[in-house]
Amino acid sequence: MGATHANLAYGLSPDPRRRALLHSRHFLHAFPIGSNAGQTMLVNSLGSRPAALTLPRFTPARFARLIESYGAGTVFVVPAMAIELLNAQVEERYDLSSVRLLGSTAASLPPAVAAGMAKAFPKATIVNYYTSTEAAPAQTTMIVDPKRPASVGRPSSGAAIRIVAEDGRTAKAGERGEV
């Protein structure tokens, strides 16, 4: 099951003063078009200031090369891509200093990976966006904070989050449950 067109376009503003990602001239991603993340990037290309750069297939070197050659100010990855970028040590071969926003989506960014990305992209604010496919555009948004490395953040867009126990009741503070 995927997100509807209305879900994907939720909150999109045609007002140029309210366009997203105003700090960038280019944003970069390598998400498959059939994924929620890829569809969100299509919407971003319509409702944000920067031009979209996309790769048909992710490779760490090609991704880093595009950041450097276009001076991309915003990049979007999933945790698996972040791990590949770190393992390839692209920050040693490419200038990644143009990146001001690094968004990770599709899953919670592991704390050690978030710390590595902060070193590789020292001028970037790292934001972890987390949602389920069916819930889009409702999501949690977390600016990575070394003091709370395992947090997935707070709900955005006025969404509410509830943690439920196995029996379906709202879980008590400290009790394990499902979002």
- CATH for 87: 3.40.50.980
pLDDT digits (tens, 9 = 90+) for 105-162: 877 788 899 989 999 999 998 988 766 555 555 556 677 776 776 666 666 656 667 7
- Structural domains counted in the chain: 1
- The letter for the amino acid at 133 is T
Reported confidence tier of residue 25, pLDDT bands at 50, 70, 90? confident
pLDDT value, residue 142: 74
Q: Which domain holds residue 145?
A: 5-155
Q: Quick check: 8 pLDDT over 70?
A: no
- Average per-residue pLDDT in the chain? 79
Reported confidence tier of residue 63, pLDDT bands at 50, 70, 90? very high
The better pLDDT of the pair 82, 30 is held by: 82
pLDDT value, residue 32: 66
Q: What ranges make up the beta strands (E) of 114-159?
A: 125-130, 140-143, 154-155
Reported confidence tier of residue 87, pLDDT bands at 50, 70, 90? very high
pTM summary value:
0.73
Q: Put the strands of the sheet holding 101-104 in their side by side order.
A: 51-54, 26-29, 74-77, 101-104, 125-130, 140-143, 154-155
Q: How far is residue 167's CA from residue 120's CA, in Å, rounded to a whole number?
A: 43
CB 126 within 8 Å of CB 102: yes
Start-to-end Cα distance in the chain: 18
> Is 161 contained in some domain?
no
Residues of the chain above pLDDT 70, percent = 63
